[in-house]
Structure 1
């Protein structure tokens, strides 16, 4: 069995040429879970897999991470074979924000008579969720205000931070083995995002060696991060992962 993380886009909100930051967890070449759905994510997903996502995890509700959900609703609603089937996983604390951002506009269809969430199966979670026999950990990150951004982990395989400042104590808990860590990182940090100076100050050498950086500001920034010795994800990269540990495994 093989596992990969396919980066559909790797750019910060303003870096539209790099694609909206999103990734797909693959098992044996088939998509298991899409992480985030920005304005251009569906096109990139369809180009890669020839179908719409069946499972989607939302890290937070900034529009560069959820801007594709309105379009996904339309595609799903008008396909009776899909209507009501795709699952949207989100931390329970995000549900009010998600409702406000994408689901509460009066008249989701001009003809009326349709509730936004009837197109999907919304699955609120807190500690995590089950999907295809795997337990996915959900953990809080540091992005703008507390309780509005959540990363994702699969023990033994990977952690995906979403947008965040450094979170060394969180990653020590959820990715304390040899997991690959997909981490928000630009050339220069700010109060809501990690910069490379933050990485070098906050993370030890062992953890830094497991980082794959994304959500940077430009191709030139990505090249500069690579030149400093870091692994940098580019749109279309499929990064090999280790097989996840069995659910309930105690890594000690």
Structure 2
């Protein structure tokens, strides 16, 4: 069984040419989980797989990560075979913000008769969630303000930070077994995002060698990160993953 991460987009919010940062976990080439749904994510997903996502995880509610959910609503609602089937996993603490961002506009359909969340199968979570017999860890990250962003990891296989400052303590808990770590990183950090100097200060070599950097600002920035000796993710790229590990005793 082969596991891969398929990066649909790798750009920071302003780097529209690199695509909204989002990734698909694949098993034997088939999509298992889409992570984040920015303004152009649905188009990229449909081009790759020919159908909507069956499962979606939301790291946080900034619009470059949830701005495609209205279009996804329409795609699902007007197809009875898909209406209510796409599971949306999100930390329960983010539900108020997600509701306000994408679901609270009066009359989601002009003719009425539709509630936004009826198009989806909403699954709030805290520590993690089950999907296709696998336990996915959800962990807090450091983006913008405390309690507003959460990464996701599959033990033994990968961790995806979403937007974040460095989080060595969290990664030591969820990604200490050789996992590929997809990590937010630009050339220069700021109070909400990691810079390459932060990576070099906060993480030991054993972690840095497993990083795939994304959410950078431009092609030139990506090339500069590579010139520093780091592996970057590119839009459309598939990265091979280790096979998931057996369940931890505290899973579920």
Asked if 1:116 corresponds to 2:111, the answer is no
Aligned to 2:168: 168
Q: Which runs of 5+ in 1 are unaligned?
A: none
Distance (Å, rounded) in 2 between the aligned partners of 1:4 and 1:63: 26
SS in 1 for 2:14: coil
Aligned to 2:154: 154
RMSD: 0.8
Measured against aligned partners, the alpha-carbon deviations of 1:61-99 in whole angstroms (never above 9, x if no partner) come to 000000000000001000000001100000000111110
> What is the TM-score normalised by the length of structure 2?
0.98
Measured against aligned partners, the alpha-carbon deviations of 1:79-137 in whole angstroms (never above 9, x if no partner) come to 00000110000000011111010001000000011100000010000000000010000
Distance (Å, rounded) in 2 between the aligned partners of 1:167 and 1:22: 19
The correspondence of residues 173-252 of structure 1 with structure 2, limited to 5 A, is 173-248=173-248
Shift of 1:52: 0.8
> What is the TM-score normalised by the length of structure 1?
0.98
Aligned to 1:130: 130
Aligned to 1:6: 6
Shift of 1:249: 5.7
Aligned to 1:92: 92
Aligned to 1:21: 21
Shift of 1:248: 2.6
Distance (Å, rounded) in 2 between the aligned partners of 1:86 and 1:177: 30
Distance (Å, rounded) in 1 between the aligned partners of 2:234 and 2:19: 10
Distance (Å, rounded) in 1 between the aligned partners of 2:43 and 2:106: 26
